[in-house]
Chain A
Amino acid sequence: MKVLLVEDSERLQRSLSTGLHKHGFAVDQAFDGEQALSFVAVNDYDVIILDLMLPRLDGLSVLSRIRSDGNSCHVLILSANDQTADRIKGLDMGADDYMVKPFSFDELVSRLRALNRRQSGIKNPQIEIDGVTIDSVSRQVKYHDRSITLTPHEYGLLEFLASRRGRVFSHDQLIDQLYDANSYVSRNAVEAHVSSLRKRLKQSGAPELVKTRRGFGYLVE
């Protein structure tokens, strides 16, 4: 799941991105409104975490520009403004959620996951395919109650494809979605992660979920 964190506080950026990385999110960091728009222009994000008081261009203007450009990615406003009018304004301008500072980091992560599920149209946090259960909350994968140990990248890849069943994603699309802008990931790395994921699933006796469409990319059917 790819997240753009737009926040001018360097300290909050640091701690939030560390925590989100730890939860398997690919996080891009923007410190002002203009920087956020430049990120949005070249990347597809599942969720944008948006502060309202931003240098150069305030958060609501950023939100307005994102929506007027036809971008439908989820936006979660994270602001110190706690007035009901501020929330209403933010939500009415196209935000999908609003959190007031100070906030619980765990709640933020849960809301990000909920937004992601909403995007993929899956309400259940557990995805089950051919006996393989992917739990997006505990980030665990099981095959008939037998736990399958995956690295964060392998889990991210499986969850991303499983939550978008039937859709084919190219190497580049997977790199965009699963890695942040500062990670220089090659096509080979994606192939290596796919190969490793297939191997671990096979070792557990699970069916081969990740299929290859030659010349197009990968999918979970």
Chain B
Amino acid sequence: MYSIRNRLSYRIIIAMILVLSVMSALLYYRVAGHVQAVFDQAVYDKAQALISLTELDEEGLEFDFAEDGVMLEFVDGQDQQYYQLWEAGGTELIRSPSLQEHQLPMPGLTLGQHRFDDIELADGRAGRMIAINFMPRVEFDEEEIEDTDYQLPEARPIVMVFARERMSLDDTLYAVGWSIFLLNILVIIFVAALIWQLVGRGLAPLSNLARQVSGIDESNLDARLSHSGEQSRELAPIEHQLNHLLERMQSAFEREKRFSANVAHELRTPLSELKTLAEVGRMVPEDQEQIAGFFEDVGDISSQMEKVVVTLLELTRSEAGLLQNEPEDILLFDYCEHIWRHAVNGSGREKLLINQVPRNLVVHSDADKLGMILSNLFINAVCYSPDQAEVKVRTVERDGRLALEVQNATTDLKPEDIVHMKDRFWRKNKAQEKAGHSGLGLTLVDALARIMQMDIKLDLDDEGIFHVRLAGLQVTAG
């Protein structure tokens, strides 16, 4: 795992080193070139001075710079300089006394051409030379020209090589190079530290976010990410989405906890009944009547627990997508009567079903699931309606869709209860609940309806009549 701060800092620093190095190199070559040009210009000027002191007159070539005491730097001393001149054909004309028996190289040049070069001087020092091919200046007396017998010597090109030491140039270039290098190192160190700080400061909101996120676990899902000061445009959507995710996770955790607590609660009472029956039953083995009653209770408790477990399994299967919609043609009137007889009749709650479904109406639906839905709705209608109340089932058309509606009068249902009625384990009053009602019926009905691509709508009208509408019936005939 890498650190964004480290990686970002390192990459910026490396890029900066590269850029600074290239710039330093360019600067060095630029400065070195300039210094060398200045140096060469001085060499050139000196060579031009020597050329200007070279003249051709009636007596031949004269080299005024070679006269004694004129230019001592060519004779001897600490900072000796050198020259050597040749005429065309390579005949040496003159050399500086400082050269003694040594030679300067004579490059081949055309007239007017000059060339610089690095050489090793006669005394072993590094030097810089310039070679120039020039025509000597002709110097004559006008009175002598009028004499017709006067013959001017013929001017011929001369090659002159002037050389001087270049240690001062090299020292300067060395100093410039080191200065640039040291400055470069200092700038890199300073800027690297600055980058480290700035990147760290720039990533502080991210670090803050990471610190907050790593502090969140299942025990504090109610925590929300926050920031101080102005929020960055990049992090705002992340923080928003994470907070949204936390909200959903908290909600899911609470729902899960609530569900587990509800399941545990639903099973605790029948379990304690079973346990007490077993323990007390052992105390009265001789009381056959009592024992028989206990066994009857055990049977009832088992049925109640089985119903809860089966309903939970059906719900789990429906949520896992394991239940398929398998529609078939159903004669709805007869099917309602059939379900009513099986679900309600014989349950000890004798109430009347008013079946207003058209007798010849055939719908295309999943018979098993529709049966489970109707069974739950009928049992609820019977259990939660006043004594002697009727349960009505009919078809209605709403928004162009055919719906099957079950309606019954209620005892203590309030409009605000409607939104909770599909919640798992919701009951109007858990304590007043009749045995066998776990509060899962309408949850299961809703889940089954979704599989059948139908909608369940619950409604309580002003007269206290509760309506459950199962919309989306597909009519085949009738």
A19 touches B279 (CB 8 A): yes
A68-89 vs B, CB cutoff 8 Å, 1 = contact: the mask equals 0000000000001111000000
B203, CB-defined interface residue at 8 Å: no
Specify the chain B residue showing the minimal Cβ separation from A80: B268
Q: Which of chain B's residues have a CB closer than 8 A to the CB of A81?
A: 265
Q: Which of chain B's residues have a CB closer than 8 A to the CB of A82?
A: 264, 268
Interface residues on B, range: 20 to 34
A44-73 vs B, CB cutoff 8 Å, 1 = contact: the mask equals 000000000111101000000000000000
Q: Which residue, of B261, B276, B279, B300, has the highest number of chain A Cβ atoms within 10 A?
A: B276
Distance (whole angstroms) from the CB of B253 to the closest CB of chain A: 15
A14 touches B429 (CB 8 A): no
Cβ-neighbour of B431 out of A15, A58, A106 (below 8 A):
A58
Q: Which of chain B's residues have a CB closer than 8 A to the CB of A103?
A: 272, 275-276
A15 touches B277 (CB 8 A): yes
Cβ-neighbour of B276 out of A16, A58, A83 (below 8 A):
A16
Cβ-neighbour of A55 out of B273, B283, B431 (below 8 A):
B431
In the bound complex, how far is the Cα of B273 from the Cα of A54, in angstroms?
Answer: 16
Distance (whole angstroms) from the CB of B312 to the closest CB of chain A: 17
Q: Which of chain A's residues have a CB closer than 8 A to the CB of B283?
A: 18-19, 22
A104, CB-defined interface residue at 8 Å: yes
B274-299 vs A, CB cutoff 8 Å, 1 = contact: the mask equals 11110111011000001001100100
B271, CB-defined interface residue at 8 Å: yes
B273 touches A11 (CB 8 A): yes
A8, CB-defined interface residue at 8 Å: yes
Known: A15-B276, A22-B283. A102 touches B271 (CB 8 A): yes
Cβ-neighbour of B279 out of A8, A11, A56, A106 (below 8 A):
A106
Specify the chain B residue showing the minimal Cβ separation from A58: B431
A117-133 vs B, CB cutoff 8 Å, 1 = contact: the mask equals 00000000000000000
Q: Which of chain A's residues have a CB closer than 8 A to the CB of B290?
A: 18
Cβ-neighbour of A15 out of B261, B265, B269, B280 (below 8 A):
B280
B402-429 vs A, CB cutoff 8 Å, 1 = contact: the mask equals 0000000000000000000000000001
Specify the chain A residue showing the minimal Cβ separation from B290: A18
The prevalent SS among residues of A at the interface is: loop
B359-371 vs A, CB cutoff 8 Å, 1 = contact: the mask equals 0000000000000
Q: Which of chain A's residues have a CB closer than 8 A to the CB of B279?
A: 19, 104-106
CB-contacts of A6-20 with B (<8 A): 8-9, 11-12, 14-16, 18-19
In the bound complex, how far is the Cα of B269 from the Cα of A54, in angstroms?
Answer: 13
Q: Which of chain A's residues have a CB closer than 8 A to the CB of B264?
A: 80, 82
Q: Which of chain B's residues have a CB closer than 8 A to the CB of A100?
A: 268
CB-contacts of B289-345 with A (<8 A): 290, 293-294, 297, 300-301
B148, CB-defined interface residue at 8 Å: no
Distance (whole angstroms) from the CB of A82 to the closest CB of chain B: 7
A101, CB-defined interface residue at 8 Å: yes
Q: Which of chain B's residues have a CB closer than 8 A to the CB of A9?
A: 269, 273, 435
Known: A11-B300, A14-B293. A80 touches B280 (CB 8 A): no
A12 touches B280 (CB 8 A): no
In the bound complex, how far is the Cα of B290 from the Cα of A55, in angstroms?
Answer: 27
Distance (whole angstroms) from the CB of A7 to the closest CB of chain B: 10
Distance (whole angstroms) from the CB of B367 to the closest CB of chain A: 35
Distance (whole angstroms) from the CB of B438 to the closest CB of chain A: 13
Q: Which of chain A's residues have a CB closer than 8 A to the CB of B261?
A: 83
Cβ-neighbour of B272 out of A8, A12, A54, A106 (below 8 A):
A12
In the bound complex, how far is the Cα of B276 from the Cα of A58, in angstroms?
Answer: 23
B276 touches A12 (CB 8 A): yes
In the bound complex, how far is the Cα of B272 from the Cα of A54, in angstroms?
Answer: 16
B432, CB-defined interface residue at 8 Å: yes
B297 touches A80 (CB 8 A): no
B430, CB-defined interface residue at 8 Å: yes
Specify the chain B residue showing the minimal Cβ separation from A19: B280
Q: Which of chain A's residues have a CB closer than 8 A to the CB of B280?
A: 15-16, 18-19, 22, 105
Distance (whole angstroms) from the CB of A108 to the closest CB of chain B: 8
CB-contacts of B254-269 with A (<8 A): 261, 264-265, 268-269
Specify the chain A residue showing the minimal Cβ separation from B294: A15
Known: A18-B280, A18-B290. A80 touches B265 (CB 8 A): yes
* A–B complex contacts, Cβ < 8 Å, 30 sampled: A11-B273, A11-B301, A14-B297, A15-B273, A15-B276, A15-B277, A15-B280, A15-B281, A15-B297, A18-B283, A18-B290, A19-B276, A19-B279, A19-B280, A22-B280, A22-B283, A53-B431, A55-B429, A55-B431, A55-B432, A56-B432, A58-B431, A80-B269, A101-B268, A101-B271, A101-B272, A102-B271, A102-B272, A102-B274, A105-B276
Ranked nearest first, the 4 interchain pairs of A and B with the lowest CB-CB distance are A19-B280, A102-B272, A101-B272, A80-B268
